[in-house]
Amino acid sequence: MTPPKIAFIGAGSVVFTQGLLADLFAFTELKDAHIALHDIDPERLSTAQAAARHIAGELGASARITAHADRRESLVDADFVINIVQVGMGEATRTDFDVPARYGLRQTIGDTLGIGGVFRALRTFPHLRALGADIAELCPDAWLLNYTNPMAMNVQYLAEATGLSRVVGLCHSVYWTVRDLSDLLGVPYQEVTYRAAGVNHQAWLLELRHGGADLYPRLDAAVAGDEQLRRRVRVDMYRRLGYYPTETSEHSSEYVPWYLHHDSEIERLRLPVGAYLGIVEENVAAYERTRASLAAGEPLPVEGTMEYAPQIIHSIVTGVPRTVYGNVPNHGLIDNLPRAGVVEVPCLVDASGVQPTRIGSLPPQLAALNRTYLSMNDLVVRAAVEDEPRHIRHAAMTDPATAAALPVERIWQLCDDMVRAHADRLQPSLRATLGS
Protein backbone atom coordinates (compact mmCIF):
# COMPACT_ATOMS: atom_id res chain seq x y z
CA MET A 1 0.00 0.00 0.00
CA THR A 2 1.43 3.35 -1.06
CA PRO A 3 1.54 5.75 1.88
CA PRO A 4 -1.07 8.50 1.49
CA LYS A 5 -0.09 12.11 0.96
CA ILE A 6 -1.94 14.51 3.24
CA ALA A 7 -1.65 18.24 2.55
CA PHE A 8 -2.30 20.67 5.42
CA ILE A 9 -3.36 24.07 4.04
CA GLY A 10 -2.97 26.66 6.79
CA ALA A 11 -0.61 24.45 8.80
CA GLY A 12 0.53 27.54 10.71
CA SER A 13 -2.51 26.97 12.92
CA VAL A 14 0.08 25.00 14.83
CA VAL A 15 -1.87 23.83 17.87
CA PHE A 16 -4.71 22.45 15.75
CA THR A 17 -2.20 20.89 13.34
CA GLN A 18 -0.50 19.21 16.30
CA GLY A 19 -3.73 17.61 17.45
CA LEU A 20 -4.57 16.31 13.99
CA LEU A 21 -1.08 14.85 13.56
CA ALA A 22 -1.26 13.13 16.95
CA ASP A 23 -4.55 11.54 15.83
CA LEU A 24 -3.10 10.54 12.44
CA PHE A 25 0.08 8.97 13.82
CA ALA A 26 -1.91 7.01 16.40
CA PHE A 27 -3.00 4.80 13.48
CA THR A 28 -0.35 2.23 12.55
CA GLU A 29 -1.36 2.38 8.88
CA LEU A 30 -0.75 6.15 8.72
CA LYS A 31 2.61 6.35 10.47
CA ASP A 32 4.46 6.45 7.13
CA ALA A 33 2.22 9.03 5.46
CA HIS A 34 3.62 11.99 3.55
CA ILE A 35 2.61 15.13 5.48
CA ALA A 36 2.90 18.21 3.25
CA LEU A 37 2.58 21.40 5.29
CA HIS A 38 1.71 24.74 3.70
CA ASP A 39 1.39 28.21 5.17
CA ILE A 40 2.04 31.70 3.87
CA ASP A 41 3.74 32.73 7.14
CA PRO A 42 7.36 31.42 7.03
CA GLU A 43 7.82 31.45 10.81
CA ARG A 44 4.58 29.60 11.50
CA LEU A 45 5.36 27.11 8.72
CA SER A 46 8.78 26.40 10.22
CA THR A 47 7.22 25.97 13.66
CA ALA A 48 4.59 23.60 12.27
CA GLN A 49 7.27 21.48 10.59
CA ALA A 50 9.32 21.28 13.79
CA ALA A 51 6.23 20.36 15.80
CA ALA A 52 5.25 17.70 13.26
CA ARG A 53 8.69 16.10 13.42
CA HIS A 54 8.59 16.11 17.20
CA ILE A 55 5.15 14.45 17.28
CA ALA A 56 6.22 11.86 14.71
CA GLY A 57 9.24 11.03 16.82
CA GLU A 58 7.23 10.75 20.01
CA LEU A 59 4.70 8.40 18.38
CA GLY A 60 7.22 6.29 16.49
CA ALA A 61 6.04 7.45 13.08
CA SER A 62 8.27 7.28 10.02
CA ALA A 63 6.28 9.93 8.19
CA ARG A 64 7.81 12.03 5.47
CA ILE A 65 7.25 15.64 6.55
CA THR A 66 7.75 18.47 4.06
CA ALA A 67 7.11 22.20 4.30
CA HIS A 68 6.00 24.34 1.35
CA ALA A 69 5.63 28.09 1.03
CA ASP A 70 4.05 27.34 -2.38
CA ARG A 71 0.54 25.92 -1.94
CA ARG A 72 0.55 24.25 -5.35
CA GLU A 73 3.72 22.37 -4.51
CA SER A 74 2.10 20.95 -1.38
CA LEU A 75 -0.92 19.73 -3.35
CA VAL A 76 0.78 17.77 -6.12
CA ASP A 77 -0.60 14.20 -6.05
CA ALA A 78 -2.21 14.68 -2.63
CA ASP A 79 -4.75 12.08 -1.56
CA PHE A 80 -6.26 14.27 1.15
CA VAL A 81 -6.31 18.03 1.66
CA ILE A 82 -7.07 19.45 5.11
CA ASN A 83 -8.06 23.11 4.97
CA ILE A 84 -7.56 25.01 8.25
CA VAL A 85 -6.89 28.48 6.84
CA GLN A 86 -8.07 31.56 8.71
CA VAL A 87 -7.85 34.51 6.33
CA GLY A 88 -6.79 37.68 8.09
CA MET A 89 -6.07 35.89 11.39
CA GLY A 90 -6.62 37.79 14.63
CA GLU A 91 -6.56 41.25 13.05
CA ALA A 92 -9.54 40.50 10.82
CA THR A 93 -11.39 38.79 13.67
CA ARG A 94 -10.99 41.86 15.86
CA THR A 95 -12.46 43.96 13.04
CA ASP A 96 -15.42 41.57 12.90
CA PHE A 97 -16.16 42.45 16.53
CA ASP A 98 -15.06 46.06 16.85
CA VAL A 99 -16.98 47.56 13.91
CA PRO A 100 -20.36 45.93 14.74
CA ALA A 101 -19.87 46.82 18.42
CA ARG A 102 -19.86 50.52 17.46
CA TYR A 103 -23.42 49.94 16.23
CA GLY A 104 -24.43 48.26 19.47
CA LEU A 105 -24.42 44.81 17.88
CA ARG A 106 -23.33 42.05 20.25
CA GLN A 107 -21.51 38.90 19.18
CA THR A 108 -19.96 36.10 21.18
CA ILE A 109 -18.03 34.00 18.62
CA GLY A 110 -18.78 35.65 15.27
CA ASP A 111 -17.59 32.84 13.00
CA THR A 112 -20.78 31.20 11.68
CA LEU A 113 -23.71 33.58 11.21
CA GLY A 114 -24.08 37.27 12.04
CA ILE A 115 -21.94 40.05 10.64
CA GLY A 116 -18.81 38.22 11.74
CA GLY A 117 -19.81 35.07 9.90
CA VAL A 118 -20.76 36.99 6.73
CA PHE A 119 -17.42 38.74 6.42
CA ARG A 120 -15.34 35.78 7.53
CA ALA A 121 -16.95 33.90 4.64
CA LEU A 122 -16.49 36.69 2.11
CA ARG A 123 -12.78 37.04 2.83
CA THR A 124 -12.35 33.23 2.74
CA PHE A 125 -14.11 32.65 -0.59
CA PRO A 126 -11.24 33.91 -2.80
CA HIS A 127 -8.91 31.47 -1.06
CA LEU A 128 -11.40 28.62 -1.55
CA ARG A 129 -11.81 29.39 -5.25
CA ALA A 130 -8.03 29.32 -5.77
CA LEU A 131 -7.62 26.19 -3.65
CA GLY A 132 -10.41 24.45 -5.56
CA ALA A 133 -8.78 25.28 -8.90
CA ASP A 134 -5.44 23.95 -7.68
CA ILE A 135 -7.00 20.70 -6.42
CA ALA A 136 -8.85 20.20 -9.71
CA GLU A 137 -5.56 20.54 -11.58
CA LEU A 138 -3.03 18.89 -9.25
CA CYS A 139 -4.90 16.24 -7.24
CA PRO A 140 -8.41 15.88 -8.71
CA ASP A 141 -9.17 12.65 -6.83
CA ALA A 142 -8.27 14.07 -3.41
CA TRP A 143 -10.77 14.46 -0.60
CA LEU A 144 -10.97 18.04 0.69
CA LEU A 145 -11.62 18.00 4.43
CA ASN A 146 -12.57 21.50 5.51
CA TYR A 147 -12.31 22.82 9.06
CA THR A 148 -12.42 26.53 8.21
CA ASN A 149 -15.49 28.45 9.41
CA PRO A 150 -18.12 29.49 8.57
CA MET A 151 -18.45 25.81 7.75
CA ALA A 152 -21.80 25.67 5.94
CA MET A 153 -21.17 28.79 3.83
CA ASN A 154 -17.69 27.60 2.86
CA VAL A 155 -18.83 24.12 1.83
CA GLN A 156 -21.75 25.52 -0.17
CA TYR A 157 -19.40 27.95 -1.90
CA LEU A 158 -16.94 25.16 -2.71
CA ALA A 159 -19.76 23.10 -4.23
CA GLU A 160 -21.12 25.96 -6.34
CA ALA A 161 -17.98 27.88 -7.30
CA THR A 162 -15.38 25.15 -7.77
CA GLY A 163 -17.29 22.08 -8.92
CA LEU A 164 -15.40 19.84 -6.49
CA SER A 165 -17.52 16.92 -5.30
CA ARG A 166 -15.19 15.20 -2.81
CA VAL A 167 -15.68 17.84 -0.14
CA VAL A 168 -16.84 17.39 3.44
CA GLY A 169 -16.87 19.94 6.25
CA LEU A 170 -15.83 18.69 9.68
CA CYS A 171 -16.69 19.95 13.15
CA HIS A 172 -16.41 18.29 16.56
CA SER A 173 -19.57 19.80 18.05
CA VAL A 174 -21.78 16.68 17.81
CA TYR A 175 -19.12 14.45 19.33
CA TRP A 176 -18.35 16.74 22.25
CA THR A 177 -22.02 17.43 22.93
CA VAL A 178 -22.68 13.73 23.38
CA ARG A 179 -19.50 13.29 25.45
CA ASP A 180 -20.56 16.12 27.76
CA LEU A 181 -24.13 14.83 28.10
CA SER A 182 -22.80 11.35 28.85
CA ASP A 183 -20.74 12.79 31.69
CA LEU A 184 -23.68 14.86 32.94
CA LEU A 185 -26.00 11.84 32.98
CA GLY A 186 -23.44 9.43 34.41
CA VAL A 187 -23.39 6.96 31.53
CA PRO A 188 -20.31 5.74 29.62
CA TYR A 189 -19.99 7.51 26.27
CA GLN A 190 -19.00 4.24 24.60
CA GLU A 191 -22.40 2.79 25.51
CA VAL A 192 -24.46 5.72 24.23
CA THR A 193 -26.13 5.62 20.83
CA TYR A 194 -27.30 8.81 19.18
CA ARG A 195 -28.48 10.39 15.96
CA ALA A 196 -28.14 14.08 15.16
CA ALA A 197 -28.93 16.24 12.14
CA GLY A 198 -29.45 19.86 11.14
CA VAL A 199 -26.86 22.44 10.17
CA ASN A 200 -23.37 23.10 11.50
CA HIS A 201 -23.45 24.62 14.99
CA GLN A 202 -27.25 24.29 14.94
CA ALA A 203 -27.87 20.57 14.62
CA TRP A 204 -30.09 18.65 17.02
CA LEU A 205 -29.88 15.41 18.96
CA LEU A 206 -32.84 13.57 17.48
CA GLU A 207 -32.10 10.42 19.50
CA LEU A 208 -30.02 9.87 22.64
CA ARG A 209 -30.10 6.37 24.13
CA HIS A 210 -28.31 4.10 26.59
CA GLY A 211 -28.99 0.39 26.57
CA GLY A 212 -31.96 1.06 24.31
CA ALA A 213 -33.54 3.47 26.82
CA ASP A 214 -34.30 7.08 25.89
CA LEU A 215 -31.98 9.39 27.84
CA TYR A 216 -34.08 12.51 27.34
CA PRO A 217 -36.26 11.90 30.44
CA ARG A 218 -33.06 11.58 32.47
CA LEU A 219 -31.82 14.87 30.99
CA ASP A 220 -35.14 16.51 31.85
CA ALA A 221 -34.69 15.45 35.46
CA ALA A 222 -31.15 16.79 35.57
CA VAL A 223 -32.25 20.13 34.16
CA ALA A 224 -35.21 20.39 36.53
CA GLY A 225 -32.94 19.78 39.50
CA ASP A 226 -30.15 22.22 38.61
CA GLU A 227 -30.82 25.96 38.38
CA GLN A 228 -27.35 26.59 36.95
CA LEU A 229 -28.02 24.24 34.03
CA ARG A 230 -31.14 26.23 33.26
CA ARG A 231 -28.98 29.34 32.97
CA ARG A 232 -27.49 28.15 29.67
CA VAL A 233 -28.78 29.11 26.23
CA ARG A 234 -28.64 25.59 24.79
CA VAL A 235 -30.60 24.23 27.75
CA ASP A 236 -33.13 27.07 27.40
CA MET A 237 -33.51 26.18 23.71
CA TYR A 238 -33.85 22.49 24.55
CA ARG A 239 -36.63 23.17 27.06
CA ARG A 240 -38.60 25.16 24.48
CA LEU A 241 -37.87 23.17 21.30
CA GLY A 242 -37.75 19.64 22.68
CA TYR A 243 -34.38 18.63 21.20
CA TYR A 244 -30.90 19.40 22.48
CA PRO A 245 -28.72 21.60 20.23
CA THR A 246 -25.24 20.39 19.36
CA GLU A 247 -23.28 23.57 19.94
CA THR A 248 -22.29 25.62 22.95
CA SER A 249 -24.48 28.32 24.42
CA GLU A 250 -22.08 31.02 23.23
CA HIS A 251 -22.47 29.85 19.65
CA SER A 252 -26.18 29.05 19.87
CA SER A 253 -27.09 32.50 21.17
CA GLU A 254 -25.92 34.11 17.91
CA TYR A 255 -28.17 32.14 15.57
CA VAL A 256 -31.52 33.21 16.99
CA PRO A 257 -33.07 36.63 17.76
CA TRP A 258 -34.01 36.00 21.39
CA TYR A 259 -30.95 36.50 23.56
CA LEU A 260 -28.11 38.88 22.68
CA HIS A 261 -30.30 41.93 22.11
CA HIS A 262 -31.63 41.81 25.68
CA ASP A 263 -29.59 42.83 28.72
CA SER A 264 -31.77 40.69 30.96
CA GLU A 265 -31.11 37.58 28.87
CA ILE A 266 -27.38 38.21 28.77
CA GLU A 267 -27.41 38.32 32.57
CA ARG A 268 -29.82 35.40 33.05
CA LEU A 269 -27.93 33.13 30.66
CA ARG A 270 -24.43 34.42 31.49
CA LEU A 271 -23.51 35.21 27.90
CA PRO A 272 -19.90 36.31 27.39
CA VAL A 273 -20.14 39.03 24.71
CA GLY A 274 -16.92 39.16 22.69
CA ALA A 275 -15.72 35.81 24.04
CA TYR A 276 -13.94 34.82 20.84
CA LEU A 277 -11.43 37.65 21.19
CA GLY A 278 -10.15 35.93 24.32
CA ILE A 279 -9.92 32.64 22.43
CA VAL A 280 -7.88 34.38 19.71
CA GLU A 281 -5.46 35.71 22.32
CA GLU A 282 -5.13 32.27 23.91
CA ASN A 283 -4.46 30.69 20.51
CA VAL A 284 -1.63 33.15 19.92
CA ALA A 285 -0.25 32.46 23.39
CA ALA A 286 -0.42 28.69 22.78
CA TYR A 287 1.45 29.13 19.51
CA GLU A 288 4.15 31.18 21.23
CA ARG A 289 4.52 28.53 23.95
CA THR A 290 4.91 25.84 21.30
CA ARG A 291 7.48 27.86 19.39
CA ALA A 292 9.45 28.57 22.57
CA SER A 293 9.38 24.92 23.65
CA LEU A 294 10.68 23.75 20.28
CA ALA A 295 13.44 26.36 20.28
CA ALA A 296 14.51 25.28 23.78
CA GLY A 297 14.38 21.58 22.96
CA GLU A 298 11.69 21.03 25.56
CA PRO A 299 9.06 18.29 25.20
CA LEU A 300 5.69 19.13 23.69
CA PRO A 301 2.42 17.56 24.80
CA VAL A 302 1.36 14.94 22.26
CA GLU A 303 -2.36 14.52 22.78
CA GLY A 304 -5.02 13.14 20.44
CA THR A 305 -8.13 15.20 19.83
CA MET A 306 -10.57 12.63 18.40
CA GLU A 307 -11.08 14.81 15.32
CA TYR A 308 -12.91 13.36 12.33
CA ALA A 309 -10.33 14.03 9.57
CA PRO A 310 -7.82 11.41 10.76
CA GLN A 311 -10.65 8.89 11.20
CA ILE A 312 -11.91 9.57 7.67
CA ILE A 313 -8.43 9.21 6.22
CA HIS A 314 -7.87 5.95 8.07
CA SER A 315 -11.20 4.50 6.93
CA ILE A 316 -10.65 5.43 3.27
CA VAL A 317 -7.08 4.09 3.31
CA THR A 318 -7.83 0.84 5.16
CA GLY A 319 -11.52 0.21 4.44
CA VAL A 320 -12.38 0.10 8.16
CA PRO A 321 -15.98 1.42 8.34
CA ARG A 322 -16.89 4.29 10.64
CA THR A 323 -19.69 6.76 11.15
CA VAL A 324 -18.74 10.43 11.51
CA TYR A 325 -20.70 13.66 11.28
CA GLY A 326 -20.07 15.66 8.13
CA ASN A 327 -21.28 18.84 6.46
CA VAL A 328 -22.36 18.24 2.87
CA PRO A 329 -24.80 19.71 0.33
CA ASN A 330 -28.31 18.61 1.26
CA HIS A 331 -29.51 17.14 -2.05
CA GLY A 332 -32.49 15.48 -0.38
CA LEU A 333 -30.81 14.28 2.80
CA ILE A 334 -33.18 16.37 4.94
CA ASP A 335 -36.53 16.77 3.20
CA ASN A 336 -37.68 20.02 4.79
CA LEU A 337 -34.46 21.99 4.29
CA PRO A 338 -33.28 23.67 1.05
CA ARG A 339 -31.66 21.27 -1.39
CA ALA A 340 -28.60 23.46 -2.06
CA GLY A 341 -27.97 24.22 1.60
CA VAL A 342 -25.22 22.45 3.51
CA VAL A 343 -26.48 20.15 6.25
CA GLU A 344 -24.76 18.21 9.04
CA VAL A 345 -25.67 14.52 9.04
CA PRO A 346 -24.18 11.14 9.96
CA CYS A 347 -21.87 9.83 7.23
CA LEU A 348 -20.61 6.31 6.67
CA VAL A 349 -16.92 6.25 5.73
CA ASP A 350 -15.07 3.31 4.20
CA ALA A 351 -12.82 2.60 1.24
CA SER A 352 -15.39 4.08 -1.15
CA GLY A 353 -15.33 7.46 0.59
CA VAL A 354 -17.77 9.55 2.60
CA GLN A 355 -21.43 8.58 2.16
CA PRO A 356 -24.01 10.83 3.85
CA THR A 357 -27.10 9.35 5.52
CA ARG A 358 -30.60 10.36 4.50
CA ILE A 359 -32.51 11.67 7.52
CA GLY A 360 -35.99 12.43 6.20
CA SER A 361 -37.75 15.41 7.79
CA LEU A 362 -36.73 17.26 10.91
CA PRO A 363 -39.36 18.24 13.48
CA PRO A 364 -40.94 21.42 12.06
CA GLN A 365 -39.77 23.78 14.80
CA LEU A 366 -36.16 22.70 14.20
CA ALA A 367 -36.43 22.93 10.43
CA ALA A 368 -37.86 26.45 10.75
CA LEU A 369 -34.72 27.69 12.51
CA ASN A 370 -32.40 25.81 10.17
CA ARG A 371 -34.16 27.24 7.10
CA THR A 372 -33.50 30.80 8.28
CA TYR A 373 -29.85 29.87 8.86
CA LEU A 374 -29.55 28.37 5.37
CA SER A 375 -31.37 31.29 3.72
CA MET A 376 -28.82 33.66 5.17
CA ASN A 377 -25.97 31.38 4.04
CA ASP A 378 -27.37 31.21 0.53
CA LEU A 379 -27.45 34.99 0.18
CA VAL A 380 -23.78 35.25 1.19
CA VAL A 381 -22.83 32.60 -1.37
CA ARG A 382 -25.03 34.29 -4.01
CA ALA A 383 -23.23 37.59 -3.34
CA ALA A 384 -19.90 36.03 -4.25
CA VAL A 385 -21.00 33.71 -7.05
CA GLU A 386 -23.15 36.35 -8.76
CA ASP A 387 -20.90 39.38 -7.99
CA GLU A 388 -23.86 41.06 -6.29
CA PRO A 389 -22.92 43.30 -3.32
CA ARG A 390 -26.57 43.95 -2.46
CA HIS A 391 -26.85 40.33 -1.35
CA ILE A 392 -24.37 41.03 1.45
CA ARG A 393 -26.91 43.46 2.86
CA HIS A 394 -29.77 41.05 2.18
CA ALA A 395 -27.92 38.39 4.16
CA ALA A 396 -27.40 40.75 7.09
CA MET A 397 -31.09 41.70 6.98
CA THR A 398 -32.01 37.99 7.10
CA ASP A 399 -29.64 37.17 9.96
CA PRO A 400 -31.78 36.72 13.11
CA ALA A 401 -29.51 38.37 15.68
CA THR A 402 -28.62 41.33 13.45
CA ALA A 403 -32.23 41.96 12.46
CA ALA A 404 -33.29 41.85 16.12
CA ALA A 405 -30.73 44.49 17.09
CA LEU A 406 -30.65 47.05 14.27
CA PRO A 407 -33.07 48.87 11.96
CA VAL A 408 -32.51 48.21 8.29
CA GLU A 409 -30.82 51.54 7.57
CA ARG A 410 -28.20 50.84 10.23
CA ILE A 411 -27.68 47.32 8.87
CA TRP A 412 -26.78 48.76 5.46
CA GLN A 413 -24.48 51.35 7.04
CA LEU A 414 -22.77 48.64 9.06
CA CYS A 415 -22.22 46.54 5.94
CA ASP A 416 -20.62 49.53 4.22
CA ASP A 417 -18.26 50.01 7.15
CA MET A 418 -17.36 46.32 7.14
CA VAL A 419 -16.73 46.38 3.39
CA ARG A 420 -14.38 49.32 3.87
CA ALA A 421 -12.59 47.57 6.72
CA HIS A 422 -12.09 44.30 4.81
CA ALA A 423 -11.93 45.66 1.25
CA ASP A 424 -8.49 44.35 0.33
CA ARG A 425 -9.54 40.81 1.29
CA LEU A 426 -12.82 40.77 -0.67
CA GLN A 427 -13.23 39.97 -4.35
CA PRO A 428 -13.27 43.28 -6.26
CA SER A 429 -16.94 43.08 -7.24
CA LEU A 430 -18.00 43.10 -3.57
CA ARG A 431 -16.01 46.14 -2.46
CA ALA A 432 -18.71 48.69 -3.34
CA THR A 433 -20.33 50.76 -0.63
CA LEU A 434 -24.04 51.25 -1.34
CA GLY A 435 -25.23 53.70 1.31
CA SER A 436 -28.41 53.25 3.28
* Positions marked catalytic: 172
SS3 labels along the chain = CCCCEEEEECCCCHHHHHHHHHHHHCCHHHCCCEEEEECCCHHHHHHHHHHHHHHHHHCCCCCEEEEECCHHHHHCCCCEEEECCCCCHHHHHHHHHHHHHCCCCCCCCCCCCHHHHHHHHHHHHHHHHHHHHHHHHHCCCCEEEECCCCHHHHHHHHHHHHCCCCEEEECCHHHHHHHHHHHHHCCCHHHEEEEEEEECCEEEEEEEEECCEECHHHHHHHHHCCHHHHCCHHHHHHHHHCCEECCCHHHHHHHCCCCCCCHHHHHHCCCCCCHHHHHHHHHHHHHHHHHHHHHHCCCCCCCCCCCHHHHHHHHHHHCCCEEEEEEEECCCCECCCCCCCEEEEEEEEECCEEEECCCECCCHHHHHHHHHHHHHHHHHHHHHHCCCCHHHHHHHHHCHHHHHHCCHHHHHHHHHHHHHHHHHHCCHHHCCCCCC
CA angle, corner 338, sides to 333 and 342, nearest 5? 65
Q: How far is CA 254 from CA 111, 117, 436, in A?
A: 10, 10, 24
